[in-house]
Chain A
Amino acid sequence: MTAAYPQILLKGRHPDRILTLAEYRTQGGYQALAHVLDKQTPEQVRHRVSEALLLGRGGAAFPAGRKMETVPEDAPHPRYVICNADEMEPGTFKDRVLLHTSPHLLIEGMIIAAYAVSAERGIIFIRPEYENAARILERELAIARDNNLLGDDILGSGYGFELSVHRSAGRYICGEVTAQINALMGRRPNPQQPPPYPTVAGLWGKPTLVQNVETFACIPSIMTQGADWFRQLALTDSGAGSKLFCISGRVNRPGVYELPLGIPLSEIIEEHAGGMRPGSRFKACLPGGASTGFLPAEHYHIPMDFDSLHKVGNRLGTGAIMVFDQTVCLVAATVNLMAFFARESCGWCTPCREGLPYLLTLLERIEAGEGRAEDPDIIATMCRQLYMSYCAFAPGAAAPVESLLTHFRDEVQAHISARRCPLATQAALGEVS
């Protein structure tokens, strides 16, 4: 069924193993790199990536080409390229699948991106839960090196680039770019507010380009097929490219599906994920990970691209769709999310460290049937306070809570009025945190 749309990132996907270097090359792999090193300047690469309107696929959707352009021409060396493989946004597992499908696609994308900013060294920062992928990457990097795709003189071009794997020891905040850079320097991974931006002074004070796994993976085909081609893959004018959508929850076939940006949410659920489970009716979903808002049923047909979700006050984020049916209490779901955020706070700034546990307590009380009439307004006020925090983590935590109040106020009110959870999906979640 998914063969109806072009498979670029997941091209040649095997169900249970990676594409070998030979297989990757047979289907056109490393031709982009060869062409870039032979025929194109770094500036031309940056320009094409900008024209393609490739937005970062790790959740923040920052334009990748523009990020490359922020490395000053006269910036010092060595320069670094970091692959953010710290995928830890709840509901998100696309990078896990991509790493187990086509590691050479990532490698090729990183080398091209490194060339575009004249970087000498690359690091794949990978979460410890993906140990299997880390070993696969180390093995494939060695194979790439043996085939002159990495090292001092890649494909005889004179361009040199070294790439290695760095294993994190695990915490969600390590996925935040400046925290990740701190982690790589052996420091406690607190975020570090710019300026300077990492592309100006990042790892060890040198220019550092950080991108998500999927973002790098888009680069080779943009170089061979062009910016226009990439933009036109999307079903909407505002979108560009294909996207790895994860889907899980009350659907028959959870998994990762490569689909055009702008595809309707209903089509993803019904055509690709096998539809809602028997007896399940769509109530809401989170469209792009835990840091997005609950999307109610009125948006069941929404085109899934960055712009369309932004227009309804939501975000595409990582494109990790979590589907809820009529049996799920969204207050209970929000308690779970807030327990996650409270526990994963790095603890460094006060609004986040103190605000998240307080929000969790308020929500737990509502779920337990002990909510007070004034609690929704207190929650709304606390959410606004979260925006005063030092990094984007706490505002992300506010997103599902604010959407609960906006779109499911009745459900919250029912808990307070009835003095119990009307759905009683799960027992009181006192132990979750």
Chain B
Amino acid sequence: MTLPEALHRSLTALIGQCEHPAEHAVDVLYALQAHFGYLSDEAIQQAAGLLGMSPLKLEELATFYTFLYRRPVGHYVIHVCDSLMCWLEGYESIRDYLSRRLAIGMGETTADGLFTLLPVCCIGYCDRAPAMLINRKVYGELTPEKIDTILENLRNAHQGIRPSSRTGAQTP
């Protein structure tokens, strides 16, 4: 399987403008992850070819980083912060609530392929604890009600329906 030509072209251009292609290893992995949905074996091979690095070196990176997924993930990846301040402000009840609402445990993906639930370490929103990321967008001062609205909006967005304004989504 080959990459779409536009993607191949843009990645080749990105790598070409740099003296050291390996500097773009993470960028290439991010781009291929976006295309394949996760970093499949195929994605690793493609990355290796583009960068002129061995697949093993890419495998090392793909299995190391928090936001690179070496296994399939849902359309939305939920990262719930479980570090000290979020823990103090109710991480466990937030985690349990999400788990119940989505009917999955930590590390699992919903049957409809929409949500994956994962923990994450301090995301730097301790002043808005408890907080989480969904596809790297921050949601803070979480409550069960806010979570319901966020999940509903995301489900609707996935089906092309307009979101409600009650999410309390991130401001920097």
Contacts and interface: CB of A to CB of B under 8 A. Distances in A.
A248 B129 CA distance: 9
Contact of A336 (B57, B65, B87, B106): B87
A304 B68 CA distance: 38
A250 B64 CA distance: 34
Interface string B89-119: 0001001000000000010000000000000
A16 B171 contact: yes
Contacts, number: 142
B24 A322 contact: no
B121 A322 contact: no
A92 B122 contact: yes
A133 B172 contact: yes
B121 A340 contact: yes
Given A186-B24, A427-B92, A128 B84 contact: no
A23 B82 CA distance: 38
Nearest to A327: B88
Interface in A196-226: 204
Contact of B64 (A171, A255, A328, A427): A171
Given A186-B23, A248-B126, A427-B92, A90 B136 contact: no
Nearest to B88: A249
A129 B138 contact: yes
Interface stretch (A29-37, A53-61, A162-170, A362-370): A162-170
A188 to B, nearest CB: 5
Interface residues of B, number: 45
Interface stretch (B25-33, B149-157, B160-168): B25-33
From B21, B30, B64, residue with most partner A Cβ within 10 Å? B64
Contacts of A256: 127
A169 B172 contact: no
B109 to A, nearest CB: 18
A167 B122 contact: no
Contacts of A246: 126-127
A95 B171 CA distance: 15
B124 A96 contact: yes
B122 A340 contact: yes
B65 A91 contact: no
B126 A128 contact: no
Interface in A145-182: 166-172
A344 interface: yes
A100 interface: yes
B143 interface: no
A131 interface: yes
A337 interface: yes
Interface string A318-346: 00101010001000010011011001101
B68 A169 contact: yes
Contacts of B92: 426-427, 431-432
A96 B172 contact: yes
A93 B84 CA distance: 13
Contacts of B57: 186-187
A89 B29 CA distance: 25
B22 A91 contact: no
From B87, B136, B138, residue with most partner A Cβ within 10 Å? B87
Given A90-B84, A185-B23, A246-B127, 14 more contacts: A129-B136, A130-B124, A171-B66, A186-B21, A248-B85, A254-B127, A290-B122, A324-B88, A336-B82, A336-B84, A340-B83, A340-B122, A431-B95, A432-B82
18 contacts: A90-B122, A91-B85, A93-B124, A93-B127, A133-B172, A166-B23, A166-B26, A169-B66, A183-B26, A186-B26, A187-B57, A248-B129, A250-B88, A290-B84, A333-B84, A340-B122, A343-B121, A344-B121
